[in-house]
Structure 1
Amino acid sequence: MTGFRGATSVVGVGTTDYFRRGTSPMTSAQLVLQAILRACRDAGADPRAVDGFVSYGGDANEGLAIAAALGVREVRWSSEVWGGGGGGIAAAVNNAAAAVYSGQASCVAVYRGLSEADDGRRAFAKGHLGSLYTAHGVLAPPQICALRTQRLMEVDGVPRSALEAVALAGYQHAQRNPRAVAYGKPLDHRLYEGSRMISEPLRLFDCSRENDGAAAVLVVSSDRAGDYQGRPAAILAGVQGAAAGWTDSVENEDRYTSAGFHPALVARLWDDAGVGPGEVDVAQVYENFTGPAVAAMIDHGLCPPGPAAGDFLTVENLTVPSGSLPINTAGGNIAEGFVHGIGLVVEAVRQIRGGSANPVTGADVSLLIGGPMAPLVSSTVFGSAATV
């Protein structure tokens, strides 16, 4: 463990509504501003006192521009995580925590916004598919993840039921979350199995949505968490990066069915957090597609590899109130809504701070996993006061 453990906390969260892609009446900047203002209201914070801004995944809204619109007194930190798409969601939180921990900022907003009419089609995937992909007919993210998922099933022996369980768990949680896009639209085995194939073996319900919207969280020093209202969610540990044999290698990865979380990175996460995978009470797992989410849970030691993954990854085990590892408790990218995964950050914090539509009773350790099977990946462990 390091001095970083528990030194910073999230003290506010804010979200906008989810809009069907291209239908938001607001620009992405307006959505981001609304989310940050709501996070400030949640924390009882003065928006003008926010002095740091962090985003990821090619967000079009620069921190300085957002700061000017908010009327902040001083900008002391402004950064964006490079590469990895949704792999940057936890990395953005980690960067904000590092800025606060090092004294470079005192209150950092971590945010992501999308408005397709403003940002363009599939703004979250710009730059991901180079000429070596497109020359061979790989034109969209599901095709890349389908190749890896097929290998995960055929060679590693992970059963399709594990993928289905991830999708059904998200939909089940969404039925108790009125904000979710899939609220009132339950999913069962018949609908899942009967849905059209997008890129074999990924079916329609294995794929995340695309939405307009925004969300934000505020990161401060834990020593100052008492200045804000509500329960803080302590940041116990965070990791990000890629090992040799991974990154932008265009399908030449040594561990092709991994989600990209190499063993050293995962070991560092648990060592720094002072907890193990068996102590995780709830997890928000970035599911651009269900296959990568399954691989990410295997990488983190949350479930066994191979055929045994199907025994652990069941709907009953992945859902509240009685599952041993509830995941994506607001519905996730698949069922709540997709704004490049920022909703998963908010839900990971709400499980500690309060406000989840599907709270896990007595949750002390909340795990956030970002961007599986992306060039850059990241994770963050949040904890309650009892863990610090």
Structure 2
Amino acid sequence: MDKSLSGRAAIAGLGATEFSKNSGRTELRLAMEATLAALQDAGIDPSEVDGFSSYSVDKVPEYEIARLLGCNNVKFFSQIPHGGGAACAPILHAAMAVATGVAKTVVVYRAMNERSWYRFGSGDYGFANTPTFENVNYGWYMPHGFHTPAAWVGMFAQRYMHTYGATSEDFGRVAVAARDFAATNPEAFFYEKPITLEDHQNSRWVCEPLHLLDCCQESDGAVAMVITSAERAKDLKQKPVVIKAGSQGIAQGQQIMTSFYRDDITGLPEMGVVAKELYAQSGLGPDAFQTAVIYDHFTPFVLTQLEEFGFAPRGEARNYVMDGHHARGGTLPINTHGGQLGEAYIHGMNGVAEAVRQVRGSAINQVDDVENVLVTAGTGVPTSGLILSAA
């Protein structure tokens, strides 16, 4: 009996709201809009949904979406922790449920008013009032000024620069390429607003070595997808997008954005765990991808992820981006929707959506002859990844 996950399930429907800084409606409303759009895209009746997966930080409960959809018997539901590290994991969980027969039609979703309702980068999290393990752990860092994700990532970036000679301009090339793609994507918040490397260098410091333009947006919006069996997906409205591989990863010494006590903090070993598993499941390697969606909450970790997946040797991703391999017309265009730097920050779910469009051949910045797309989730935390492929 073949127990491999590879190729057993497919993404059959895709839906999204607009991306904004003030949606003007509840997160539940956003989730329902995206979910109904995804079901309509697939040609599946809402009553057929029997599974859900989302993020533990998503404030929209699956039972309420099930009630509003008119679902009869929901047999599977899961929530994945660690914020952006969950970006690919709901699709993995849905694929496992479908491949094992636990559920037949699973909706994955992420809905958030992260700009108009609350802000992850505020530095004010109420940790002292909720002394759980994770919050107490931050008590060792916050007295030293490590209050925000930018500060946490800044520490890793400083060490990477010290060890490998990377510069702020190397990080800036990631931002410039992302904004170039966003500038031609009408759905992107920064549509028609490209930047230059000079713009990047002149943007204000947020937490050295991170400039403002090294940091992702804060956005309102929702994205949803429908996962079913690869066999069934062949008979539905859209070109099937096969889930070729999926993985989650935790590595030794892992903490939440503050894994500073590892022997070496210039890499992302949890993403290395994901890379090895994705390649093992799929039988593919770095040369198999025509495009990729690399989680870009902060530009330095894009370089590190390129190294973990073998697109560049350790410490040499700066040369990779200097040569423009990641940009429009490069050998591996990344974040062709504009990424979280340029399109929107929907905790990476909008990046999975772009991978679906690339495989379908319907992306605004479509890459030629796409067969396989790599997608990664948030870094600095327990994370996840996907390979999505043409049928």
CA distance in 2, matches of 1:119, 1:259: 31
User: TM-score, normalization: structure 1?
Assistant: 0.92
Q: Which string of whole-angstrom CA distances, capped at 9 and with x for unpartnered residues, describes residues 27-57 of structure 1?
A: 0010011001111111111122111111115
Question: Tell me, which stretches of 5 or more residues in structure 1 are unaligned?
Answer: none
The AA in structure 2 aligned to 1:3 is S
Of 298, 309, 315, the residue aligned with 2:307 is 298
Q: Does 1:183 align with 2:191?
A: yes
CA distance in 2, matches of 1:28, 1:103: 30
Shift of 1:314: 3.5
Give the conservation status (yes or no) of the 8 Å contact 2:295–2:340: yes
CA distance in 1, matches of 2:304, 2:89: 19
Q: Does 1:8 align with 2:9?
A: yes
CA distance in 1, matches of 2:360, 2:380: 29
CA distance change for structure 1 residues 262 and 79 in 2, over 3 Å: closer, same or farther?
closer
Which residue does 1:75 correspond to in 2? 74
Question: Tell me, which stretches of 5 or more residues in structure 2 are unaligned?
Answer: 128-133
CA distance in 2, matches of 1:264, 1:341: 19
Q: Which string of whole-angstrom CA distances, capped at 9 and with x for unpartnered residues, describes residues 219-246 of structure 1?
A: 1111111231111110111110202222
CA distance change for structure 1 residues 340 and 40 in 2, over 3 Å: closer, same or farther?
same
Secondary structure of 1:261's counterpart equals helix
Q: Does 1:85 align with 2:91?
A: no
Shift of 1:156: 2.8
Give the conservation status (yes or no) of the 8 Å contact 1:303–1:313: no
Shift of 1:133: 2.2
Of 265, 268, 272, the residue aligned with 2:281 is 272
The AA in structure 2 aligned to 1:244 is Q
CA distance change for structure 1 residues 97 and 319 in 2, over 3 Å: closer, same or farther?
same
Give the conservation status (yes or no) of the 8 Å contact 1:260–1:373: no
The AA in structure 1 aligned to 2:188 is A
Give the conservation status (yes or no) of the 8 Å contact 2:19–2:220: yes
Q: Comparing 112-121 with 139-148, which one deviates more in the overlay? A: 112-121
Which residue does 2:46 correspond to in 1? 47
Secondary structure of 2:336's counterpart equals coil
Which residue does 1:38 correspond to in 2? 37
Secondary structure of 2:14's counterpart equals strand
Secondary structure of 1:357's counterpart equals coil
Which residue does 1:331 correspond to in 2? 338
Q: Does 1:195 align with 2:194?
A: no
Give the conservation status (yes or no) of the 8 Å contact 1:159–1:309: no
Which residue does 2:18 correspond to in 1? 17
- Number of residue-to-residue matches in the alignment: 379
Q: Which string of whole-angstrom CA distances, capped at 9 and with x for unpartnered residues, describes residues 351-373 of structure 1?
A: 10232111111010101000112
Shift of 1:124: 11
The AA in structure 2 aligned to 1:277 is P
Give the conservation status (yes or no) of the 8 Å contact 2:108–2:225: yes
Which residue does 1:219 correspond to in 2? 227
Q: Which string of whole-angstrom CA distances, capped at 9 and with x for unpartnered residues, describes residues 326-358 of structure 1?
A: 100000000001121211010011110232111
Secondary structure of 1:313's counterpart equals helix
Q: Does 1:370 align with 2:371?
A: no
Which residue does 2:252 correspond to in 1? 244
Which residue does 2:357 correspond to in 1? 350
Shift of 1:265: 3.9
The AA in structure 2 aligned to 1:209 is Q
Identity, in percent, stands at 33
Secondary structure of 2:375's counterpart equals strand
CA distance change for structure 1 residues 262 and 173 in 2, over 3 Å: closer, same or farther?
closer
User: TM-score, normalization: structure 2?
Assistant: 0.92
Which residue does 1:381 correspond to in 2? 387
Shift of 1:250: 4.9
Give the conservation status (yes or no) of the 8 Å contact 2:169–2:197: no
CA distance in 2, matches of 1:28, 1:119: 10
Which residue does 2:131 correspond to in 1? none
Q: Comparing 38-47 with 257-266, which one deviates more in the overlay? A: 257-266
Give the conservation status (yes or no) of the 8 Å contact 1:161–1:314: no
Of 359, 364, 379, the residue aligned with 2:366 is 359
CA distance in 2, matches of 1:220, 1:259: 32
Root-mean-square deviation (Å): 2.0
Q: How does 1:115-194 map to 2 (within 5 A)?
A: 115-116=113-114, 120-122=118-120, 130-194=138-202
CA distance in 2, matches of 1:315, 1:51: 47
CA distance in 2, matches of 1:132, 1:276: 39
The AA in structure 2 aligned to 1:66 is I
Shift of 1:383: 0.7
Q: Which string of whole-angstrom CA distances, capped at 9 and with x for unpartnered residues, describes residues 112-162 of structure 1?
A: 111248853329996776222222221110000011011111113334333
CA distance change for structure 1 residues 328 and 117 in 2, over 3 Å: closer, same or farther?
closer
CA distance change for structure 1 residues 194 and 324 in 2, over 3 Å: closer, same or farther?
same
Secondary structure of 2:140's counterpart equals helix
Shift of 1:247: 3.2
